[in-house]
Amino acid sequence: MSHLSATETPHPAHAALDLYDTPSLLAALVDDQQRAVAAVQAAAPQLARAVDAAAQRLAQGGRLIYAGAGTSGRLAVLDAVELNPTFSWPPDQAPALLAGGPGAMFLAVEGAEDDGAQGAEDLHRLGPTPNDVVFAIAASGTTPFALGVLSAGRALGTLTIGMANNAGSPLVTEAEIGIVLDTGPEVISGSTRLKAGTSQKIALNSFSSAVMVRLHKVYGNLMVDLRATNVKLVHRAVRLTAQAAGCAPAQAEAALRDSGYRVKLAVLMVRLGLGADAARARLEAVHGDLRAALGEG
Q: Do 114 and 50 belong to one domain?
A: yes
Q: Residue 8 has what pLDDT? A: 80
Q: Looking at the predicted structure, is the pLDDT value of residue 1 above 50?
A: no
- The arithmetic mean of pLDDT across residues 46-74, rounded, is 97
Q: Do 254 and 209 belong to one domain?
A: no
Q: Do 161 and 24 belong to one domain?
A: yes
Q: Do 145 and 259 belong to one domain?
A: no
Q: Do 49 and 111 belong to one domain?
A: yes
Q: Is the distance from CB of 57 to CB of 133 less than 8 angstroms?
A: yes
Catalytic residue among 8, 110, 113, 121: 113
> What are the two backbone dihedrals, phi and then psi, of residue 191, each rounded to the nearest 5 degrees?
-85, 85
pLDDT band at 36; cut points 50, 70, 90: very high
Q: 1: Cβ–Cβ under 8 A, 6 or more apart, which residues?
A: none
Element spanning 196, H or E = helix 195-214
Q: Residue 191 has what pLDDT? A: 86
Catalytic residue among 8, 82, 121, 174: 82
Q: Do 55 and 24 belong to one domain?
A: yes
Q: Do 22 and 169 belong to one domain?
A: yes
Domain count, the chain: 2
Q: Residue 95 has what pLDDT? A: 97
Q: Is the distance from CB of 147 to CB of 137 less than 8 angstroms?
A: no
Sheet (strand 159-164) strand order:
96-98, 64-68, 133-137, 159-164, 177-180
CATH number (domain holding residue 237): 1.10.8.1080
Q: Do 273 and 150 belong to one domain?
A: no
- The arithmetic mean of pLDDT across residues 74-100, rounded, is 95
Strands (E) located in the chain: 64-68, 96-98, 133-137, 159-164, 177-180
Q: Is the distance from CB of 140 to CB of 114 less than 8 angstroms?
A: no
**82 in active site:** yes
Read off the pLDDT of residues 148-194 as tens digits, 9 standing for 90 and up. 999 999 999 999 999 999 999 999 999 999 999 999 999 998 889 99
Given 185, 214, 243, the domain boundary residue is: 214
Alpha carbon separation from 76 to 16, 20, 81, 190, 265 (Å, rounded): 33, 33, 9, 20, 31
Q: Looking at the predicted structure, is the pLDDT value of residue 3 above 80?
A: no
Given 214, 247, 268, the domain boundary residue is: 214
Residue count (the chain): 297
Distance CA(225)–CA(186), nearest Å, equals 38
For residue 222, tell me if it sits in a domain.
Answer: no
pLDDT band at 203; cut points 50, 70, 90: very high
